Amino acid sequence: MIAETLRDRIRSGGPMSIAAFMTEALFDPSHGFYATKDPIGAGADFITAPEISQMFGELIGLVAAQTWLDMGRPDGVKLIEMGPGRGTMMADALRAARAVPGFIEAAEIVLIEASAALKAVQAQTLGPTGAQIRWVDRLEAVAPGPSIILGNEFLDCLPVRQAVRHKGTWHERLVGLDPEAEAESGFVFVLGPPLGEDLALVPERLREAGDGALVELRPGDRQVVDQLAARFAAHPGRALFIDYGPATSEIGDTLQAIRAHKKQPPLLDPGTADLTARVDFESLVLAARSAGLTAYGPEPQGAWLLGLGLETRAAALSQAQPGKRSQIARQIWRLTDQEQMGELFKLVCLDGGDLPIPPGFSAG
């Protein structure tokens, strides 16, 4: 059990960072939340946009194909998806992208996936497309060349760190053990050492926040940005990330655990629930720009999808299957309504700066 392993680690090595706790809880190869099962779908733990409607992946596929046209139709372009889940978005994207002659034939599909269980589901979903697919475990393992990179709800599960302002200094927030609470897992948040050099990870605008303020640091986002910058400096490339979080950096604890569509305390029973935290789009865009990338967005998901013609696609689908009209209308509502996914979910597009403005975005 992961809880026992983590308790042993804390007993022998002292409190651990939230990022380390999250990594074990999600990706421990034998008991991690993602390693062992397929958590995505109405009957499982959480649901995502591509699982709500085929239209989501279709529009993403058309944007990918347009990007290929804008690149000058390079042969061997890598179409990379980070964290493809059940493979649904890629399957819908490939189907729609057939509308652009030559794209599918030119594309090499690469999936970056940490979970063995989900790889198997992806192979099943994408088998019928006939596409040649390769799996790798990280972006650096993809051969150089022009690339189009997609990631839906990938950044939110990259491990986060948290920092708390205490007596005028930012300290790391760690996970320790409270022997009194051993019965209910025993994990508690404790104040760790001052951040030191990592203070640079605290958004500048928030650094003077009052005592007790908590910020989340996303070293994983920066790592991804640096990898993209290196890749796109050598060859044309564009990445599109869709995720949830505020447009501007905020104070506050957003670490959450979701199991069977319900929240549970984040430190309770690691490995049994999805652990995520909101993406800080402002810091992501700033990090991208300082790494030399051009960044567009964040653009709210609802406005972006509607701007790209979601309703036109829905009308065509409803005409083809009149019995599904109300189901399709509900899908639009879930993807675009402000109280649903329309506002909290956002898109960011990062590229090397040598391509036209991406579909649905305004100047970067």
**Binding-site ranges for ligand SAH (CB under 6 A):** 34, 40, 48, 50-51, 83-85, 89, 112-115, 118, 152-154, 157
Identity of the residue, 6 or 121, whose beta carbon is nearer to ligand SAH in the bound complex? 121
Cα gap 132→130, rounded to integer Å:
7
Identity of the residue, 71 or 242, whose beta carbon is nearer to ligand SAH in the bound complex? 242
Contact 18, 161 (CB under 8 A): yes
Q: How far is the CB of 157 from ligand SAH (least distance, A)?
A: 4
Number of other CB atoms surrounding residue 127 within 10 Å: 12
Contact 87, 125 (CB under 8 A): yes
Identity of the residue, 56 or 103, whose beta carbon is nearer to ligand SAH in the bound complex? 56
Which residue type sits at 252?
G
3-class DSSP state for residue 246? coil
Identity of the residue, 48 or 272, whose beta carbon is nearer to ligand SAH in the bound complex? 48
Q: How far is the CB of 92 from ligand SAH (least distance, A)?
A: 11
Q: How far is the CB of 320 from ligand SAH (least distance, A)?
A: 25
Identity of the residue, 139 or 175, whose beta carbon is nearer to ligand SAH in the bound complex? 139
Contact 317, 328 (CB under 8 A): yes
Q: How far is the CB of 136 from ligand SAH (least distance, A)?
A: 9
Cα gap 136→312, rounded to integer Å:
36
Beta bridge partners of 296: 349
Q: How far is the CB of 27 from ligand SAH (least distance, A)?
A: 7
Identity of the residue, 163 or 242, whose beta carbon is nearer to ligand SAH in the bound complex? 242
Q: How far is the CB of 39 from ligand SAH (least distance, A)?
A: 8
Contact 202, 283 (CB under 8 A): no
Cα gap 122→337, rounded to integer Å:
29
